[in-house]
A and B are shown apart, each in its own frame.
Chain A
Amino acid sequence: MYLKHALRAATAMTFVATAAAHAQSITIATVNNGDMIRMQGYTDKFTEATGIDVEWVTLEENVLRQRVTTDITTKGGQFDIMTIGMYETPIWGANGWLVPLDGMSAEYDVDDILPAMAGGLSHEGTLYAAPFYGESSMIMYRTDLMEAAGLEMPEAPTWQFVREAAAAMTDRDNDINGICLRGKAGWGEGGAFITVTGNSFGARWFDEDWKPQFDQPEWKEALTFFVDMMSESGPAGYATNGFNENLSLFQQGKCGMWIDATVAASFVTNPDDSTVADKVGFALAPNSEGVDKRANWLWAWALAIPAGTQQEDAAKQFIEWATSKDYIELVAENEGWANVPPGARTSLYENPNYKEVPFAKMTLESILMADPQNCCAQPTPYTGIQFVAIPEFAGIATQVSQEFSAVYAGQQTVDEALAKAQAFTAEEMEAAGY
């Protein structure tokens, strides 16, 4: 009798164990932003269709970057898919840390990925991460304030016009700042913005021999212009303002113009959160007169598979699903076209429904104008627009942006900051063997 029970129990246990062994599960590390959280909500549909369970590890951007970098460099194997950006992808791809995303199905239509995105997420022509959403940067401005100032925003303005318009829109008595820009230290915050500003004044980080260029007149012109304009028309304490601080100011009607990520357009035009939702216009990021490059960047949050994962096929299936045209349709059907992940696929911008979204046209134009292989007016040895795709860049640019933030805070002069940036960068690059 006991033997019979024991046999039954053993059989049941074997069934359970077999079932568990067959249930596939993948773990995805990702950032906390609206599009990614929305995707988590639709994961059940992927599981229903494929039988693959998905576990999410959602982290703040900087924590995520540290976490996935530690894991991939030590082959920790904690994640089957990692959400990474354009900075990491070519470096990690070159190191052999990522699984090449070739052999995607015909329905996936890999050629539909915007060329700028595919280029920035590839190494030597091989795609290593699929863009979930992409962004550039552009001008968001208050149409009512612009009109009241008696000015009209061109589609492709110059910095000189932007400065003039900012001064005209500034109304200190009513707490309205003509322009809000990032000044916060950090390579992905104020560092990114001042780098593209430098590009639009003809500056570059390095010459063809990897020699830092902060001692060149273009950098001095760019930084001086930025500081002067922000002193005239920017908010108090802009040295500590990043994306969120400026978004908050703009949504409360305290900025005439804001130049930042194209994804912000959906926030500032959302009447639930923004007090100026129906008074926002869009234009290309500016350039300095006579310079062929504009102050717009290119970025994508993309899904990549770390080499060595035991779930490569399941991970590829998920990436195909999450970055497909069908996923975009799914979100549009449930939440409207303004909420689909932007900036990844050409077909989205050909869709007549999406063309009606007010910021769609300018977003696409900004993305198409950004060329990571050719960031600057002068030749460079690197790829990337608001960053330099070398492992040393994050550390160097963080330090340099701290020096620049000290200028914004009035703690040192432009010349002092540029001299320190030049010396520090030269030292670090020499130590790194460049």
Chain B
Amino acid sequence: MARAVTTRRKSLNTALAWAVGLLIFFPILWTILTSFKTEAQAIASPPLFLNFNWTLENYAIVQERSDYMRFLWNSVIIAGGSTILGVIIAVPAAWAMAFVPSKRTKDILLWMLSTKMLPAVGVLYPIYLLFIRLGLLDTRGGLVVVLMLINLPIIVWMLYTYFREIPGEILEAARMDGATLKEEILYVLTPMAIPGIASTVLLNFILAWNEAFWTLNLTAVDAAPLTAFIASYSSPEGLFFAKLSAASTMAIAPILILGWFSQKQLVRGLTFGAVK
């Protein structure tokens, strides 16, 4: 009897998980479907789900109008660069906070996180002026630095949480064996925290890939990533939903594939330390 209840509950939970998953995925699915419709089919009422004449015309138009590969390459450099730079800075910071905490460590962590609550537009002008002075407008390097700074609090927080799960005695043992601080972090701590670092890298790569405020405001031609590519297809005066959907599908495809293949690491990293 108990087994039957458990099985039924499991089935219910599975069904519920699928329902929630489908609900979350539906907007993406709808975007993908719309990208294969004509503009007239895209606004048809009642909406057409699968019974329409599938066309690749929107992809052809988007491909002809925009240099997709240039936008894609910029996205890869900016998201990848900011994530790598962020991890390089965050690993020692998180190590210090996890293994040599001071009285103010908690306050510092909270303060770092509080910077995420500042509306980005509030600092647009100071950063824009700084970029003009430094010649960083429309450069990938400038965006790498800005996105790294924006995501740094999250990287530090995540790594701090993972590092706290690692027993300090192991690091002490390494020290007793004569390991320097650099060796301790590089050869003892980092290998043990690889799953946590991997999920941090993945999550921050996704956040940087999707970032739209700074990437739109600080770029023009040379450094414009895929967010600018999508923005060029949005229009309040004209129905171009099918083309916009094609552009959106092309923009999210790489990150969707990356997320699909690394979902195990992502889930593991995000739930790490949640259950003792």
Contacts and interface: CB of A to CB of B under 8 A. Distances in A.
A7 to B, nearest CB: 32
Contact of B125 (A57, A74, A252): A74
A248 to B, nearest CB: 4
A233 B39 CA distance: 27
Interface in B30-61: 39-40, 43-45
B246 to A, nearest CB: 14
Given A40-B65, A70-B125, A248 B239 contact: yes
A62 B213 CA distance: 13
A70 B217 contact: yes
Contacts of B235: 31-33, 60-61, 244
A111 interface: no
Say whether chain A's binding surface is mostly helix, strand, loop, or mixed: mixed
A267 B39 CA distance: 12
Contacts of B220: 27, 29, 55, 57, 78-79
A57 B67 CA distance: 12
A174 interface: no
Contacts of A211: none
Given A27-B221, A70-B125, A32 B233 contact: yes
A59 B44 contact: no
Interface in A222-256: 242-244, 247-248, 251-252, 254
Given A70-B128, A74-B128, A251-B43, A63 B236 contact: no
B169 interface: no
Given A66-B217, A78-B138, A252-B45, A61 B128 contact: no
B137 A76 contact: yes
B237 A244 contact: yes
Contacts, number: 92
The 5 A-B pairs with the shortest beta carbon distances in the complex, nearest first, are A60-B234, A58-B232, A32-B235, A248-B43, A78-B220
20 contacts: A31-B235, A32-B240, A33-B235, A33-B238, A57-B228, A57-B232, A59-B231, A60-B231, A60-B235, A63-B234, A70-B217, A74-B128, A74-B129, A244-B238, A247-B239, A248-B43, A252-B43, A252-B44, A252-B45, A261-B237
Interface in B235-257: 235-240
A59 B128 CA distance: 19
Given A27-B220, A55-B221, A66-B217, A189 B132 contact: no
Contacts of B233: 32
Interface of A: 27, 29, 31-34, 37, 40, 55, 57-63, 66-67, 70-71, 74-79, 188-189, 242-244, 247-248, 251-252, 254, 261, 263, 267, 272-273
B93 to A, nearest CB: 32
B216 interface: yes
Nearest to B229: A58
B87 interface: no
A129 to B, nearest CB: 18
Nearest to A66: B217
A67 B217 contact: yes
Contact of A189 (B43, B45, B236): B236
A134 to B, nearest CB: 13
Contacts of A79: 220
B224 interface: yes
B237 A33 contact: yes
B124 interface: yes
B238 A267 contact: yes
Given A37-B65, A74-B129, A32 B43 contact: no
A52 B118 CA distance: 43
Contacts of B44: 252
